[in-house]
Amino acid sequence: MHDSWKPFLKSEFDKPYFKELSKFLHQAYETKTIYPKKSLVFSAFATDLNEVKVVILGQDPYHTPGAAHGLAFSVPDTAPIPPSLVNIYKEIDNDIGHHKNATGNLRNWQNQGVLLLNTVLTVEAHKAGSHRGKGWETFTTEVIKYLNETRPHLVFILWGRDARNKKSLIDAKKHLILESPHPSPLSAYNGFFGNHHFSKTNEFLKAHDMNIIEW
């Protein structure tokens, strides 16, 4: 994780809820197959806090082997592109032209100041949502509150119910909030397609004299 996050993260790690979460995770990693691997759980926080411009909030990590690597919606270069990300790329293509990525790895977005954060950061293999209610939601609520308070003119992109539940934490007078159904094939046609979130993000960044994201 980037040094800029360390004061915030240390304060959270010392709280009772996170100590309970840590106990749960220690046992889970010892006894079950959990994704992503331990060293990648906090990969999203490799983004320099002072460079964050956009926050994309997802649900929980991919629960199939070789997919989750700590960034919401992203997979390693060698992994097949998941259906949700296929739909994200389709919306980029329809919204602003051809997407820039040859694989499903979104690290180049991260390098441009996009925080790719799930609301829950771990999952048991083949059991979607299995680590909900264990403490991660409290942690990511605190992350959103911290970003809302400390950073100016962010774009918060909230896809799906879990992400949209964080909307009340964000000051809409200070930041841009973009929300829609999740890009999953189960919901993409209910309002994800055609949301124009990528062009709207870049218009907001331009208006505040920031470099646009090369999606």
Q: Which 3-state string (H, E, C) describes the chain? A: CCHHHHHHHHHHHCCHHHHHHHHHHHHHHHHCCEECCHHHCCHHHHCCHHHCCEEEEECCCCCCCCCCCCCCCCCCCCCCCCHHHHHHHHHHHHHHCCCCCCCCCCHHHHHCCEEEEECCCCEECCECCCCCCCCHHHHHHHHHHHHHHHCCCCEEEEECHHHHCCHHHCCCCCCEEEEECCCCCCCHHHCCCCCCHHHHHHHHHHHCCCCCCCC
Residues of the chain with pLDDT under 50: none
Nearest to 57 by CA among 194, 150, 201, 179: 179
Tell me, yes or no, if 60 is annotated catalytic.
yes
pLDDT value, residue 1? 87
Q: Is 107 in contact with 42 (CB distance < 8 Å)?
A: no
Amino acid letter, residue 108: N
Nearest to 196 by CA among 143, 144, 157, 141: 157
Nearest to 72 by CA among 92, 58, 54, 84: 58
Q: How far apart are CA 68 and CA 12, in angstroms?
A: 23
CA dihedral of 102, 103, 106, 109, whole degrees rounded to 10 = 0
Q: Which of 60, 77, 93, 171 is catalytic?
A: 60
